[in-house]
Protein backbone atom coordinates (compact mmCIF):
# COMPACT_ATOMS: atom_id res chain seq x y z
CA UNK A 1 0.00 0.00 0.00
CA UNK A 2 1.15 3.47 -0.67
CA UNK A 3 0.00 7.02 -0.34
CA UNK A 4 -1.84 8.34 -3.41
CA UNK A 5 0.87 8.91 -5.99
CA UNK A 6 -0.72 10.90 -8.86
CA UNK A 7 -1.17 14.24 -7.17
CA UNK A 8 -0.71 15.80 -3.80
CA UNK A 9 -3.88 17.77 -4.56
CA UNK A 10 -6.07 14.68 -4.47
CA UNK A 11 -4.77 13.72 -1.07
CA UNK A 12 -5.19 17.15 0.45
CA UNK A 13 -8.73 17.42 -0.93
CA UNK A 14 -9.50 14.05 0.63
CA UNK A 15 -8.04 15.24 3.92
CA UNK A 16 -10.05 18.47 3.83
CA UNK A 17 -13.24 16.54 3.13
CA UNK A 18 -12.58 14.22 6.07
CA UNK A 19 -11.79 17.10 8.36
CA UNK A 20 -15.09 18.78 7.41
CA UNK A 21 -17.02 15.64 8.28
CA UNK A 22 -15.06 15.00 11.46
CA UNK A 23 -15.57 18.60 12.60
CA UNK A 24 -19.34 18.39 12.07
CA UNK A 25 -19.41 15.12 14.01
CA UNK A 26 -17.25 16.55 16.79
CA UNK A 27 -19.59 19.55 17.14
CA UNK A 28 -22.57 17.17 17.34
CA UNK A 29 -20.85 15.13 20.05
CA UNK A 30 -19.95 18.23 22.07
CA UNK A 31 -23.46 19.65 21.81
CA UNK A 32 -25.49 16.47 22.41
CA UNK A 33 -23.14 14.50 24.68
CA UNK A 34 -24.79 11.20 23.66
CA UNK A 35 -24.17 8.10 25.75
CA UNK A 36 -21.37 5.85 24.52
CA UNK A 37 -20.72 3.83 22.55
CA UNK A 38 -22.45 5.39 19.55
CA UNK A 39 -21.93 5.83 15.82
CA UNK A 40 -22.37 9.26 14.24
CA UNK A 41 -22.87 9.41 10.45
CA UNK A 42 -22.18 12.58 8.48
CA UNK A 43 -24.80 12.45 5.69
CA UNK A 44 -23.13 15.10 3.46
CA UNK A 45 -20.10 12.78 3.25
CA UNK A 46 -22.29 9.88 2.07
CA UNK A 47 -23.73 12.10 -0.67
CA UNK A 48 -20.29 13.42 -1.60
CA UNK A 49 -18.88 9.89 -1.90
CA UNK A 50 -21.80 8.84 -4.11
CA UNK A 51 -21.25 11.84 -6.40
CA UNK A 52 -17.50 11.17 -6.55
CA UNK A 53 -18.16 7.58 -7.58
CA UNK A 54 -20.71 8.61 -10.19
CA UNK A 55 -18.24 11.16 -11.61
CA UNK A 56 -15.40 8.61 -11.67
CA UNK A 57 -17.52 5.95 -13.37
CA UNK A 58 -19.91 7.78 -15.72
CA UNK A 59 -22.72 5.62 -17.09
CA UNK A 60 -22.11 2.87 -14.53
CA UNK A 61 -25.15 1.77 -12.47
CA UNK A 62 -24.38 2.26 -8.77
CA UNK A 63 -26.22 -0.14 -6.43
CA UNK A 64 -25.45 0.63 -2.75
CA UNK A 65 -24.98 -2.59 -0.75
CA UNK A 66 -27.38 -1.81 2.08
CA UNK A 67 -25.79 -4.22 4.55
CA UNK A 68 -22.77 -1.89 4.89
CA UNK A 69 -24.96 0.59 6.77
CA UNK A 70 -28.74 0.20 6.78
CA UNK A 71 -29.42 3.44 8.72
CA UNK A 72 -32.70 4.87 7.41
CA UNK A 73 -31.29 8.35 6.70
CA UNK A 74 -28.34 6.90 4.73
CA UNK A 75 -30.74 5.06 2.42
CA UNK A 76 -32.92 8.17 2.21
CA UNK A 77 -30.15 10.55 1.05
CA UNK A 78 -28.82 8.00 -1.44
CA UNK A 79 -32.28 7.36 -2.88
CA UNK A 80 -32.73 11.11 -3.30
CA UNK A 81 -29.47 11.17 -5.32
CA UNK A 82 -30.83 8.51 -7.66
CA UNK A 83 -28.66 5.72 -6.28
CA UNK A 84 -29.87 2.13 -6.78
CA UNK A 85 -29.75 -0.55 -4.06
CA UNK A 86 -28.31 -4.01 -3.61
CA UNK A 87 -30.42 -5.89 -1.03
CA UNK A 88 -30.32 -9.31 0.57
CA UNK A 89 -33.66 -9.75 2.36
CA UNK A 90 -37.30 -8.62 2.48
CA UNK A 91 -36.50 -6.18 5.31
CA UNK A 92 -33.86 -4.45 3.20
CA UNK A 93 -36.34 -4.20 0.30
CA UNK A 94 -38.94 -2.65 2.62
CA UNK A 95 -36.35 -0.17 3.89
CA UNK A 96 -35.32 0.99 0.39
CA UNK A 97 -38.90 1.36 -0.87
CA UNK A 98 -39.94 3.21 2.30
CA UNK A 99 -37.07 5.67 1.83
CA UNK A 100 -38.08 6.51 -1.72
CA UNK A 101 -36.32 4.03 -4.00
CA UNK A 102 -38.52 2.79 -6.84
CA UNK A 103 -38.67 -1.04 -7.11
CA UNK A 104 -36.79 -0.88 -10.46
CA UNK A 105 -33.82 0.52 -8.51
CA UNK A 106 -33.58 -2.56 -6.31
CA UNK A 107 -31.46 -5.63 -7.05
CA UNK A 108 -32.12 -8.71 -4.92
CA UNK A 109 -28.58 -9.95 -5.08
CA UNK A 110 -28.40 -12.59 -2.38
CA UNK A 111 -28.13 -15.97 -4.14
CA UNK A 112 -29.45 -17.64 -0.96
CA UNK A 113 -33.14 -16.84 -0.67
CA UNK A 114 -36.42 -18.50 0.24
CA UNK A 115 -39.19 -18.96 -2.30
CA UNK A 116 -41.51 -16.85 -0.14
CA UNK A 117 -38.97 -14.00 -0.11
CA UNK A 118 -38.62 -14.09 -3.90
CA UNK A 119 -42.42 -13.96 -4.21
CA UNK A 120 -42.54 -11.05 -1.75
CA UNK A 121 -39.93 -9.08 -3.73
CA UNK A 122 -41.78 -9.76 -6.98
CA UNK A 123 -45.07 -8.63 -5.47
CA UNK A 124 -43.43 -5.31 -4.53
CA UNK A 125 -42.18 -4.83 -8.10
CA UNK A 126 -38.55 -5.99 -7.78
CA UNK A 127 -37.51 -7.47 -11.14
CA UNK A 128 -33.77 -7.95 -10.80
CA UNK A 129 -32.28 -11.00 -9.09
CA UNK A 130 -28.85 -12.59 -8.68
CA UNK A 131 -28.56 -16.35 -8.62
CA UNK A 132 -25.83 -18.99 -8.60
CA UNK A 133 -27.63 -22.33 -8.56
CA UNK A 134 -30.11 -24.31 -10.64
CA UNK A 135 -32.64 -24.63 -7.84
CA UNK A 136 -32.64 -20.89 -7.19
CA UNK A 137 -33.05 -20.10 -10.93
CA UNK A 138 -36.05 -22.44 -11.02
CA UNK A 139 -37.51 -20.86 -7.86
CA UNK A 140 -37.13 -17.38 -9.38
CA UNK A 141 -38.84 -18.58 -12.58
CA UNK A 142 -41.75 -19.86 -10.51
CA UNK A 143 -42.18 -16.95 -8.08
CA UNK A 144 -40.90 -13.99 -10.10
CA UNK A 145 -41.88 -14.90 -13.66
CA UNK A 146 -40.24 -12.85 -16.38
CA UNK A 147 -37.66 -11.29 -14.02
CA UNK A 148 -34.10 -10.39 -15.01
CA UNK A 149 -31.47 -12.78 -13.71
CA UNK A 150 -27.75 -12.25 -13.23
CA UNK A 151 -25.60 -15.30 -12.62
CA UNK A 152 -22.84 -14.94 -10.05
CA UNK A 153 -19.56 -16.62 -10.86
CA UNK A 154 -16.93 -17.91 -8.42
CA UNK A 155 -13.82 -15.77 -8.45
CA UNK A 156 -10.45 -15.70 -6.74
CA UNK A 157 -10.11 -12.52 -4.73
CA UNK A 158 -6.40 -11.76 -4.56
CA UNK A 159 -5.54 -8.37 -3.06
CA UNK A 160 -8.71 -8.20 -1.00
CA UNK A 161 -8.67 -7.76 2.77
CA UNK A 162 -11.89 -9.79 2.94
CA UNK A 163 -12.00 -12.50 0.26
CA UNK A 164 -15.45 -14.06 -0.17
CA UNK A 165 -14.18 -17.64 -0.36
CA UNK A 166 -16.30 -20.26 -2.06
CA UNK A 167 -19.71 -19.61 -0.55
CA UNK A 168 -21.06 -17.59 -3.49
CA UNK A 169 -20.96 -18.09 -7.22
CA UNK A 170 -20.69 -21.05 -9.55
CA UNK A 171 -18.08 -22.04 -12.13
CA UNK A 172 -18.28 -20.02 -15.36
CA UNK A 173 -19.31 -23.04 -17.49
CA UNK A 174 -22.20 -23.69 -15.10
CA UNK A 175 -23.16 -20.00 -15.29
CA UNK A 176 -23.45 -20.35 -19.08
CA UNK A 177 -25.85 -23.29 -18.64
CA UNK A 178 -27.89 -21.55 -15.94
CA UNK A 179 -28.27 -18.33 -17.94
CA UNK A 180 -29.44 -20.42 -20.90
CA UNK A 181 -31.83 -22.26 -18.58
CA UNK A 182 -33.15 -18.94 -17.24
CA UNK A 183 -34.08 -17.96 -20.79
CA UNK A 184 -35.79 -21.30 -21.40
CA UNK A 185 -37.82 -20.80 -18.20
CA UNK A 186 -39.12 -17.42 -19.38
CA UNK A 187 -36.72 -15.27 -17.38
CA UNK A 188 -34.49 -12.63 -18.95
CA UNK A 189 -30.83 -13.73 -18.93
CA UNK A 190 -29.48 -10.36 -17.89
CA UNK A 191 -25.79 -10.59 -17.07
CA UNK A 192 -22.85 -11.99 -15.14
CA UNK A 193 -22.12 -10.88 -11.56
CA UNK A 194 -19.28 -11.46 -9.11
CA UNK A 195 -17.67 -10.03 -5.97
CA UNK A 196 -13.88 -9.70 -6.04
CA UNK A 197 -13.63 -9.42 -2.23
CA UNK A 198 -14.13 -6.49 0.12
CA UNK A 199 -11.57 -3.70 0.77
CA UNK A 200 -9.80 -4.57 -2.48
CA UNK A 201 -6.44 -2.83 -2.30
CA UNK A 202 -5.36 -3.68 -5.85
CA UNK A 203 -7.10 -1.62 -8.57
CA UNK A 204 -6.59 -4.51 -11.01
CA UNK A 205 -8.17 -6.96 -8.53
CA UNK A 206 -11.29 -7.21 -10.73
CA UNK A 207 -9.41 -8.07 -13.95
CA UNK A 208 -9.50 -11.88 -13.79
CA UNK A 209 -13.20 -11.95 -12.91
CA UNK A 210 -14.05 -9.46 -15.68
CA UNK A 211 -12.24 -11.73 -18.16
CA UNK A 212 -14.28 -14.73 -16.94
CA UNK A 213 -17.50 -12.72 -17.21
CA UNK A 214 -16.57 -11.71 -20.77
CA UNK A 215 -16.02 -15.35 -21.68
CA UNK A 216 -19.43 -16.39 -20.33
CA UNK A 217 -21.02 -13.49 -22.19
CA UNK A 218 -19.26 -14.37 -25.47
CA UNK A 219 -20.27 -18.05 -25.25
CA UNK A 220 -23.91 -17.10 -24.82
CA UNK A 221 -23.75 -14.52 -27.60
CA UNK A 222 -22.52 -17.26 -29.93
CA UNK A 223 -25.74 -19.14 -29.11
CA UNK A 224 -27.86 -16.06 -29.75
CA UNK A 225 -28.35 -15.14 -26.08
CA UNK A 226 -27.39 -11.47 -25.59
CA UNK A 227 -26.61 -10.37 -22.03
CA UNK A 228 -27.18 -6.72 -21.08
CA UNK A 229 -24.87 -6.06 -18.12
CA UNK A 230 -21.75 -7.06 -16.26
CA UNK A 231 -22.02 -6.57 -12.49
CA UNK A 232 -18.60 -5.89 -10.92
CA UNK A 233 -19.96 -6.18 -7.36
CA UNK A 234 -18.40 -4.46 -4.37
CA UNK A 235 -14.84 -4.19 -3.09
CA UNK A 236 -13.98 -0.52 -3.62
CA UNK A 237 -11.91 0.36 -0.54
CA UNK A 238 -11.95 3.04 2.14
CA UNK A 239 -8.96 4.67 3.81
CA UNK A 240 -8.26 3.44 7.35
CA UNK A 241 -4.83 3.62 9.04
CA UNK A 242 -3.39 3.04 5.59
CA UNK A 243 -4.60 4.74 2.40
CA UNK A 244 -5.53 2.69 -0.67
CA UNK A 245 -4.75 4.02 -4.18
CA UNK A 246 -7.07 6.83 -5.33
CA UNK A 247 -10.52 6.10 -6.77
CA UNK A 248 -9.44 7.26 -10.24
CA UNK A 249 -7.00 4.35 -10.50
CA UNK A 250 -9.78 1.88 -9.74
CA UNK A 251 -12.13 3.49 -12.25
CA UNK A 252 -9.45 3.42 -14.96
CA UNK A 253 -8.53 -0.22 -14.25
CA UNK A 254 -12.16 -1.39 -14.30
CA UNK A 255 -13.03 0.53 -17.45
CA UNK A 256 -9.90 -0.72 -19.26
CA UNK A 257 -10.55 -4.34 -18.27
CA UNK A 258 -14.14 -4.23 -19.54
CA UNK A 259 -13.07 -2.60 -22.81
CA UNK A 260 -10.19 -5.04 -23.29
CA UNK A 261 -12.15 -8.23 -22.60
CA UNK A 262 -15.63 -7.45 -23.95
CA UNK A 263 -14.35 -5.46 -26.93
CA UNK A 264 -17.01 -3.96 -29.16
CA UNK A 265 -19.75 -5.95 -27.42
CA UNK A 266 -19.30 -4.18 -24.08
CA UNK A 267 -22.50 -4.43 -22.00
CA UNK A 268 -23.54 -1.79 -19.51
CA UNK A 269 -21.69 -1.97 -16.22
CA UNK A 270 -23.05 -1.98 -12.67
CA UNK A 271 -21.24 -1.94 -9.33
CA UNK A 272 -22.38 -2.62 -5.77
CA UNK A 273 -20.29 -0.43 -3.44
CA UNK A 274 -20.88 -0.72 0.29
CA UNK A 275 -17.80 0.33 2.24
CA UNK A 276 -16.69 2.97 -0.29
CA UNK A 277 -19.92 4.94 0.12
CA UNK A 278 -20.25 4.95 3.91
CA UNK A 279 -17.01 4.09 5.75
CA UNK A 280 -15.58 7.62 5.75
CA UNK A 281 -18.88 9.17 6.88
CA UNK A 282 -18.85 7.59 10.34
CA UNK A 283 -17.18 8.12 13.70
CA UNK A 284 -17.71 5.81 16.66
CA UNK A 285 -17.41 7.49 20.04
CA UNK A 286 -16.45 5.10 22.82
CA UNK A 287 -15.37 5.53 26.42
CA UNK A 288 -12.48 3.99 28.27
CA UNK A 289 -13.76 1.52 30.88
CA UNK A 290 -10.41 0.50 32.34
CA UNK A 291 -6.68 0.95 31.77
CA UNK A 292 -4.67 -1.92 33.25
CA UNK A 293 -1.24 -3.49 33.28
CA UNK A 294 -0.82 -7.25 33.19
CA UNK A 295 2.71 -7.41 34.65
CA UNK A 296 5.52 -5.11 35.85
CA UNK A 297 7.65 -6.10 32.85
CA UNK A 298 5.17 -5.57 30.01
CA UNK A 299 5.34 -2.00 28.79
CA UNK A 300 1.97 -2.27 27.07
CA UNK A 301 -1.13 -1.10 28.88
CA UNK A 302 -4.44 -2.80 28.21
CA UNK A 303 -7.12 -0.28 27.31
CA UNK A 304 -10.64 -1.64 27.61
CA UNK A 305 -13.28 0.31 25.69
CA UNK A 306 -17.07 0.18 26.07
CA UNK A 307 -17.28 -1.13 22.47
CA UNK A 308 -15.76 -4.35 21.18
CA UNK A 309 -16.10 -7.19 18.71
CA UNK A 310 -19.79 -7.72 19.50
CA UNK A 311 -20.79 -4.07 19.79
CA UNK A 312 -20.03 -3.30 16.16
CA UNK A 313 -16.30 -3.86 15.65
CA UNK A 314 -16.65 -7.24 13.93
CA UNK A 315 -14.15 -6.19 11.26
CA UNK A 316 -11.34 -6.08 13.84
CA UNK A 317 -11.36 -9.89 13.61
CA UNK A 318 -7.87 -10.85 12.51
CA UNK A 319 -7.16 -7.11 12.86
CA UNK A 320 -8.17 -6.81 9.19
CA UNK A 321 -9.50 -3.28 9.49
CA UNK A 322 -7.43 -0.84 11.57
CA UNK A 323 -9.46 2.27 12.39
CA UNK A 324 -7.60 5.53 13.03
CA UNK A 325 -8.14 6.63 16.65
CA UNK A 326 -8.53 10.01 18.34
CA UNK A 327 -8.75 10.59 22.09
CA UNK A 328 -9.70 13.49 24.34
CA UNK A 329 -6.12 13.53 25.69
CA UNK A 330 -4.28 13.69 22.35
CA UNK A 331 -1.22 15.92 22.37
CA UNK A 332 0.73 14.54 25.33
CA UNK A 333 3.19 11.69 25.58
CA UNK A 334 2.02 8.29 24.30
CA UNK A 335 2.88 4.64 24.79
CA UNK A 336 1.92 1.28 23.27
CA UNK A 337 -1.44 -0.34 24.13
CA UNK A 338 -3.50 -3.43 23.53
CA UNK A 339 -7.12 -2.49 22.81
CA UNK A 340 -9.97 -4.71 23.96
CA UNK A 341 -13.74 -4.71 24.29
CA UNK A 342 -15.87 -4.90 27.43
CA UNK A 343 -17.41 -8.38 27.18
CA UNK A 344 -16.43 -11.61 28.94
CA UNK A 345 -15.41 -13.25 25.67
CA UNK A 346 -11.69 -13.96 25.29
CA UNK A 347 -11.89 -13.16 21.55
CA UNK A 348 -13.14 -9.67 22.33
CA UNK A 349 -9.68 -8.16 21.78
CA UNK A 350 -9.49 -5.51 19.06
CA UNK A 351 -5.79 -4.96 18.45
CA UNK A 352 -2.81 -6.76 20.00
CA UNK A 353 -0.56 -7.01 16.90
CA UNK A 354 -1.33 -3.72 15.16
CA UNK A 355 0.71 -1.00 16.81
CA UNK A 356 -1.38 1.64 18.56
CA UNK A 357 0.09 4.29 20.87
CA UNK A 358 -2.26 6.20 23.14
CA UNK A 359 -1.68 8.98 25.69
CA UNK A 360 0.03 7.86 28.89
CA UNK A 361 -2.52 9.78 30.98
CA UNK A 362 -5.53 8.07 29.34
CA UNK A 363 -7.94 6.90 32.03
CA UNK A 364 -11.45 5.56 32.67
CA UNK A 365 -14.14 7.88 31.34
CA UNK A 366 -12.00 9.42 28.57
CA UNK A 367 -13.36 9.26 25.06
CA UNK A 368 -11.71 7.25 22.29
CA UNK A 369 -13.12 7.97 18.82
CA UNK A 370 -12.77 5.41 16.02
CA UNK A 371 -12.65 7.20 12.66
CA UNK A 372 -13.85 6.04 9.19
CA UNK A 373 -16.18 3.64 11.00
CA UNK A 374 -19.37 4.10 8.96
CA UNK A 375 -19.29 0.70 7.23
CA UNK A 376 -19.98 -2.72 8.72
CA UNK A 377 -20.22 -1.51 12.31
CA UNK A 378 -23.80 -0.81 13.49
CA UNK A 379 -25.09 -3.53 11.13
CA UNK A 380 -22.78 -6.07 12.79
CA UNK A 381 -23.50 -5.23 16.42
CA UNK A 382 -25.18 -7.98 18.44
CA UNK A 383 -28.59 -7.56 20.06
CA UNK A 384 -27.29 -7.68 23.62
CA UNK A 385 -24.29 -9.97 24.08
CA UNK A 386 -23.47 -9.90 27.81
CA UNK A 387 -26.28 -7.38 28.18
CA UNK A 388 -24.56 -4.65 26.15
CA UNK A 389 -27.12 -2.98 23.86
CA UNK A 390 -26.64 -2.72 20.08
CA UNK A 391 -24.74 0.28 18.72
CA UNK A 392 -26.88 3.44 18.62
CA UNK A 393 -26.59 5.50 15.42
CA UNK A 394 -27.09 9.28 15.03
CA UNK A 395 -26.98 11.25 11.79
CA UNK A 396 -25.63 14.72 11.14
CA UNK A 397 -26.99 16.67 8.16
C1 LIG B 1 -21.40 -7.03 0.72
C2 LIG B 1 -21.63 -7.00 -0.74
C3 LIG B 1 -21.26 -5.88 -1.48
C4 LIG B 1 -20.54 -4.69 -0.88
O5 LIG B 1 -19.19 -4.96 -0.72
P6 LIG B 1 -18.15 -3.80 -0.32
O7 LIG B 1 -16.86 -4.51 -0.26
O8 LIG B 1 -18.59 -3.22 0.97
O9 LIG B 1 -18.19 -2.80 -1.43
C10 LIG B 1 -21.58 -5.87 -2.82
N11 LIG B 1 -22.20 -6.91 -3.42
C12 LIG B 1 -22.54 -8.02 -2.73
C13 LIG B 1 -23.23 -9.12 -3.45
C14 LIG B 1 -22.27 -8.10 -1.38
O15 LIG B 1 -22.59 -9.21 -0.71
One-letter-per-residue 3-state SS of 11-35: HHHHHHHHHHHHHHHHHHHHHHCCC
Is 1 within a domain?
A: no
How many angstroms separate the CA atoms of 189 and 151, rounded? 8
CB of 275 sitting under 6 A from ligand 1: yes
User: Same domain for 294 and 265?
Assistant: no
**Residue finishing a domain among 219, 243, 277:** 277
CB of 273 sitting under 6 A from ligand 1: yes
Q: What percent of the chain has a predicted confidence (pLDDT) above 90? A: 90
User: Same domain for 291 and 260?
Assistant: no
E runs forming strands in 58-164? 61-65, 84-87, 106-108, 128-131, 148-152, 160-162
Is 150 within a domain?
A: yes
Q: pLDDT at residue 127 above 80?
A: yes
User: Same domain for 269 and 285?
Assistant: no
Q: Which of 3-17, 39-53, 180-194, 220-234 has the lowest mean pLDDT?
A: 3-17
**Residue finishing a domain among 277, 298, 329:** 277
User: Same domain for 108 and 15?
Assistant: no
- Strand pairing report for 334-340 and 349-359: antiparallel
Rounded to an integer, the average pLDDT of 247-262 is: 98
Q: pLDDT at residue 11 above 80?
A: no
- CATH number of the domain to which 142 belongs: 3.20.20.10
CB of 169 sitting under 6 A from ligand 1: no
User: Same domain for 133 and 249?
Assistant: yes
User: Same domain for 195 and 261?
Assistant: yes
Task: Confirm if 189 and 130 have CB atoms less than 8 A apart.
Answer: no
Q: How many CB atoms lie within 10 A of CB 181?
A: 17
The pLDDT of residue 159 is 79
CB of 132 sitting under 6 A from ligand 1: no
**Known catalytic residue: 83?**
no
User: Same domain for 248 and 340?
Assistant: no
Our count of domains for the chain comes to 2
User: Same domain for 117 and 230?
Assistant: yes
User: Same domain for 284 and 370?
Assistant: yes
Beta-carbon contacts of residue 224 (< 8 Å; ≥ 6 apart):
none
pTM (2 d.p.): 0.95
- From the CA of 306, how far away is ligand 1's center (Å)? 28
- Residue to mutate (ligand 1; options 53, 57, 64, 68; most atoms within 8 A of CB): 68
How many angstroms separate the CA atoms of 349 and 305, rounded? 10
Cα dihedral: 52, 54, 58, 64 (round 10): 140
Is 387 within a domain?
A: yes
User: Same domain for 183 and 240?
Assistant: yes
- Ligand 1 atom closest to the Cα of residue 197 is 7
CB of 70 sitting under 6 A from ligand 1: no
Confidence at 165, pLDDT banded by 50, 70, 90: confident
Rounded to an integer, the average pLDDT of 140-146 is: 98
Q: pLDDT at residue 1 above 70?
A: no
- The DSSP string of 77-107 is HHHHTT-EEEE-SHHHHHHHHHTT--GGGEE
Q: Which of 9 and 48 is assigned the larger pLDDT?
A: 48
CB of 244 sitting under 6 A from ligand 1: no
Confidence at 192, pLDDT banded by 50, 70, 90: very high
How many angstroms separate the CA atoms of 317 and 385, rounded? 17
The pLDDT of residue 12 is 56
User: Same domain for 231 and 285?
Assistant: no
Q: pLDDT at residue 2 above 50?
A: no
Q: Which of 81 and 162 is assigned the larger pLDDT?
A: 81
Range of the domain at 32: 6-40+279-396
As a whole number, the mean pLDDT across the chain is 94
Angle at which helix 115-123 crosses helix 90-98, to 10 degrees, equals 20
Is 71 within a domain?
A: yes
User: Same domain for 239 and 176?
Assistant: yes
* Nearest CA, atom 10, ligand 1: 234
- CATH number of the domain to which 356 belongs: 2.40.37.10
Query: Residues 90-113: pLDDT tens digits?
Result: 999 999 999 999 999 999 999 999
- Ligand 1 atom closest to the Cα of residue 67 is 1
Q: What percent of the chain has a predicted confidence (pLDDT) above 70? A: 96
- From the CA of 234, how far away is ligand 1's center (Å)? 4
Question: Residue 220, CB half-sphere, CA atoms under 13 Å: how many?
Answer: 31
**Residue finishing a domain among 258, 277, 296:** 277
Query: Residues 332-377: pLDDT tens digits?
Result: 999 999 999 999 999 999 999 999 999 999 999 999 999 999 999 9
How many angstroms separate the CA atoms of 311 and 393, rounded? 12
Rounded to an integer, the average pLDDT of 180-207 is: 97
Which of 38, 84, 96, 344 is flagged as catalytic?
A: 344
Amino acid sequence: MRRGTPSEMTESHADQRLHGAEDRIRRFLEREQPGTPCLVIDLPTVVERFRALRAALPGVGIFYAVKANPTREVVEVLAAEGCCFDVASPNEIDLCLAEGAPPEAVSYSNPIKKAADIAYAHRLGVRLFVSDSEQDVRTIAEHAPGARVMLRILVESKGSTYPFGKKFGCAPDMAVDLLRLAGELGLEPYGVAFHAGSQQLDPTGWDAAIADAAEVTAKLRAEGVALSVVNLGGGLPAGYLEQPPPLAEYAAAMTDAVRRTFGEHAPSVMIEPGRALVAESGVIRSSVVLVARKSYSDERRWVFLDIGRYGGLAETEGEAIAYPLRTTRDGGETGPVVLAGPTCDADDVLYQHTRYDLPLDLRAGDHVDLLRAGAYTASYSSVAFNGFPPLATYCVR
